[in-house]
Amino acid sequence: MSDTYTPQPRGLYFEDFEIGKTLVTTRRTITQTDIVNFACLSGDFNAPHIDHEFCKTQPYGEPIAHAPLILAIVGGLQCLSGINDGTIIAMLGLDNWRMHLPVKAGDTIHVLITATDKKPTRGGTQGIVTFERVVKNQRGETVQTMTHSNMYKCRAANVSAA
């Protein structure tokens, strides 16, 4: 018996993704602390995110989350779902990213992730999966949408490497 621990992937392999199948992530409430911390991290101190008085003059009425903050949290929610755990190789692209509604402190979001396309790479040891990601708030309103592509390990390649 070996003392070396080798974690087994729990994520999905390329072959496991079904076109049209939707995964719904857990929820995450956005906080004012998230917004302020992201402003500090990114250096984006634009008025819509940090100036309460300015925001009172806008239709949204209070500071709103940075769109890239929501994008980062969406990536985290996908990661927390487990589908990437030990099987993802790389993020390849993000296309058609759209903001539909503002996200404010106190809003709770979740993501619907639907596989829309998949192709094996030439070598056959990995494949590319394209997803439509729809971000919803606690009222069921769509706040962001995007197309996202990741590269995953193939199960067959994993078996032949053993």
- Read off the pLDDT of each residue in 41-59 and give the average, rounded to a whole number: 96
User: Which structural domain range is residue 107 located in?
Assistant: 14-31+70-161
Q: Has residue 146 been placed in a domain?
A: yes
- 148 inside domain: yes
User: Considering the domain boundaries, does residue 64 fall inside one?
Assistant: no
- Residue 96's domain is classified under what CATH number? 3.10.129.10
Give mean pLDDT, residues 26-48: 97
Q: Is residue 54 part of a domain?
A: no
Q: Considering the domain boundaries, does residue 98 fall inside one? A: yes
pLDDT in tens, 124-141: 899 999 999 999 999 999
Residue 5 lies in a domain: no
Higher pLDDT, 159 or 146: 146
Q: Higher pLDDT residue, 48 or 9?
A: 48
What CA–CA distances, in Å, run from 25 to 10, 22, 36, 54, 79? Answer: 16, 10, 25, 34, 9
**104, part of any domain:** yes
Using one digit for the tens of pLDDT, what is the confidence trace for 13-28?
A: 999 999 999 999 999 9
Q: Report the domain count for the chain.
A: 1
Residue-wise burial string across 55-76, b where 16 or more C-beta atoms lie within 10 A, e elsewhere? beeeeeeebbbbbebbbebbbe
**pLDDT averaged over every residue in the chain:** 93
- Is residue 156 in some structural domain? yes
Give the pLDDT of residue 60: 94
109-125 pLDDT tens trace? 999 999 999 999 998 89
Note the pLDDT of residue 162.
Answer: 45
